[in-house]
Chains A and B, each alone.
Chain A
Amino acid sequence: AQRVTQPEKLLSVFKGAPVELKCNYSYSGSPELFWYVQYSRQRLQLLLRHISRESIKGFTADLNKGETSFHLKKPFAQEEDSAMYYCALGPGGYQKVTFGTGTKLQVIP
Chain B
Amino acid sequence: NAGVMQNPRHLVRRRGQEARLRCSPMKGHSHVYWYRQLPEEGLKFMVYLQKENIIDESGMPKERFSAEFPKEGPSILRIQQVVRGDSAAYFCASSPPITGSEQYFGPGTRLTVT
Contact = CB atoms under 8 A, between A and B. Distances in A.
Contacts of A43: 3-4, 105-108
Contacts of A45: 104-105
Interface residues of A, number: 22
B99 interface: yes
Majority DSSP secondary structure for residues of B touching A: loop
Contacts of B99: 92-94
B48 A95 contact: yes
Interface in B1-57: 3-4, 31, 33, 35, 41-45, 48, 55-56
Interface in B35-83: 35, 41-45, 48, 55-56, 58-59
Interface residues of B, number: 31
B103 interface: yes
Contacts of B4: 43
Given A43-B105, A44-B105, A99-B35, A94 B45 contact: no
Given A44-B43, A92-B99, A93-B100, 5 more contacts: A44-B91, A94-B100, A95-B48, A96-B45, A96-B56
Interface of A: 6, 32, 34, 36, 43-46, 49, 51, 86, 92-102
